[in-house]
Amino acid sequence: MQHFAEEFRQSPKLAEVRYDVRGPIAQEAARLERAGHYITRLNIGNPAPFGFEAPEAVLRHMIAELPTAQGYSDSQGIYSARLAVAHYYQARGLAATPEDVWLGNGVSELISMVLTALIAPGDEILIPAPDYPLWTGATKLAGGTPVHYVCDEDNHWWPDPEEIESKVTDRTKALVLINPNNPTGAVYPREIIEAMADICRRHNLMLLADEIYENIVFDGAQMVNAAAVADDVLTVTFSGLSKTWRVAGFRSGWIYVSGPRHRAKNYLEGLNLLMNMRMCANVPAQHAIQAALGGFQSIEELILPGGRLYEQSQTAHRLLAGIEGVTVEKAAGALYLFPRLDPELYPIEDDEAFVIELLRQKKILLSHGRAFNWEDTQHLRVVTLPSVEDLETAIGHIGDFLADYRST
Ligand code: PLP
């Protein structure tokens, strides 16, 4: 009798999980590269390939510590790095101690662990739309239901606290805040952060503050740490070395837990269990934290007028806004713009197919708005990491592509 072996199938847990920024578009870009084309990658916030290097002291310290970094560390993270993170928040007026800090393999790993430790099947997590899509994907993977609150494009992409509160139910467990925001570039004013903290206070929600871009703000925008306005709300602040210190490949991040810890004893036991199960974060990359946070904070040179990040963001904004039918909010922070294409001029049915067509024709890789759980198909995310010259060329090509699209 002939025996047909059954196919190996993925878990049904993955049925609803998406991470499109590294999906079919990225595969098509890789295929074109293998075929010999040069692709301008405006799709991922990865500073190093664009010539942004880590402060030298960070590299030197990590190299010097390599011999001592051969073994596993404590699951929570090495003490010197946790102390450095605690000092970093103390300098912002927060009462952080090394016991309040956990280290992870990038913020990504910590997002997954913090949600997995929290969510019971069917629990709801309030997440912005558009979002950094790991928040939605990790919530679903943990058995939860993402409930999106909509950030307002006509009001600097800020969220509306009233709308957020209208979406709270008795299943809501936490409120996610991404500030400065990926993908919109928004930096939220203090009143909005206070209002979000207040919603958490009144409905007993955990506040999950993804602040990985906190040092990348432009034109005097004021970055307010959520933990600073919510000392009576259980707040988990996420940050790390990937963006400000330009070492995304090291996979080094942290969480700082603040607020009424005594009400989170059981939760933190669960979180510690997950931390223990993965042994520890990459130890050489933990050593980089102390040098990064204790050393010369060289990001200033990049974000002030004349600095690369500032000038690139301004140039990309000006050039995109100059294309007929494109509207785009200036970025107050982070590394992205989220332009909208007028549906009258550019009716887009499938924004992923649109981005793939742009890639094939112009060899420019963008991400489509729906990859960020945005509701319509008229938005694109543009990474502003390439040099001004490369942005000029790339956005010129995007303009040509759109002109052709209009006329067909
Ligand atoms: N949070 C946001 C808002 C991000 O944009 C990113 C990366 O782009 C991450 C978290 C993940 O960062 P990490 O490299 O620390 O995993």
pTM: 0.96
207 C-alpha to ligand 1 centroid (Å): 17
Domain 12-52+301-407 CATH superfamily:
Aspartate Aminotransferase, domain 1 (3.90.1150.10)
180 C-alpha to ligand 1 centroid (Å): 12
66 C-alpha to ligand 1 centroid (Å): 25
CA–CA gap between residue 239 and residue 212 (Å, rounded):
4
CA–CA gap between residue 106 and residue 118 (Å, rounded):
19
Q: What is the ipTM of this complex?
A: 0.99
Q: Supply φ then ψ for residue 384, to 5 degrees.
A: -105, 35
CATH architecture for segment(s) 56-294:
3-Layer(aba) Sandwich (3.40)
For the chain, what is the total number of helices (H) and then of strands (E)? 14, 14
Average pLDDT, integer, range 252-279: 97
Q: Is the pLDDT of residue 393 over 70?
A: yes
Pocket of ligand 1 (CB under 6 A): 45, 106-108, 132, 178, 182, 210, 212, 240, 242, 248, 253
Position in ligand 1 atom list of the atom nearest CA 181: 3
Q: What is the pLDDT of residue 44?
A: 87
Instruction: Please name the residue whose Cα sits nearest to atom 10 of ligand 1.
Output: 107
Q: What is the pLDDT of residue 367?
A: 95
| Pocket probe mutation, ligand 1, options 132, 247, 372, max atoms within 8 Å of Cβ | 132
313 C-alpha to ligand 1 centroid (Å): 19
Q: Which residues does residue 175 pair with via DSSP β-bridges, in sequence order?
A: 126, 207
240 C-alpha to ligand 1 centroid (Å): 8
Show the tokens assigned to 241: 């070395």
CA–CA gap between residue 331 and residue 325 (Å, rounded):
19
Residue 297, helix vs strand vs coil: coil
Average pLDDT, integer, range 366-385: 95
Position in ligand 1 atom list of the atom nearest CA 242: 14
Average pLDDT, integer, range 91-96: 95
pLDDT in tens, 133-147: 999 999 999 999 999
- Which residues, 6+ apart, have CB-to-CB distance to 21 below 8 Å? 43, 44, 133, 367, 371, 372
Average pLDDT, integer, range 55-76: 93
Q: Are 336 and 353 in contact (CB under 8 A)?
A: no
Q: What is the pLDDT of residue 1?
A: 60
Domain coordinates in residue numbering, the chain: 12-52+301-407, 56-294
pLDDT-derived band at 5, boundaries 50, 70, 90: confident
Q: Is the pLDDT of residue 230 over 90?
A: no
Q: Is the pLDDT of residue 22 over 90?
A: no
Helix (H) or strand (E) holding 174: strand 172-178
